[in-house]
């Protein structure tokens, strides 16, 4: 059960981060806002892969 909650949290985090990056790039915000979102995308993908293959 704990693994499922981590997986769902990571999926929600990934969706939010992808929306963040999309919105930031569409409004022309400074590059560090995009970098902030990309870091969360990478972290979410890492957590998802870790939970699926552990």
- Residue 20 in this model has a pLDDT that exceeds 70: yes
Q: What b/e string do you get for 13-44 counting C-beta neighbours within 10 Å, with b at 16 or more?
A: bbeebeebbeebeeeeeeeebeeebeebbeeb
- Residue 2 in this model has a pLDDT that exceeds 90: no
Quote the tokens at residue 29: 């915000």
Domain count within the chain = 1
Who contacts 40 (Cβ-Cβ below 8 Å, separation ≥6)? 13, 16, 17, 20
- At residue 1 the predicted structure's pLDDT band, cuts being 50, 70 and 90, is low
**Smallest Cα–Cα separation from 9: which of 19, 35, 17?**
17
pTM for the full model?
0.87
The predicted-structure confidence for 31-46, as pLDDT tens digits, reads as follows 999 999 999 999 999 9
Q: Which domain holds residue 10?
A: 2-52
């Amino acid at each position: 059960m704990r693994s499922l909650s981590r997986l769902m949290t990571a999926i929600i985090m990934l969706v939010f981060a992808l929306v963040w990056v999309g919105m930031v790039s569409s409004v022309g915000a400074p590059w560090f806002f995009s970098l902030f979102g990309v870091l969360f995308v990478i972290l979410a993908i890492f957590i998802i892969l870790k939970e699926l293959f552990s």
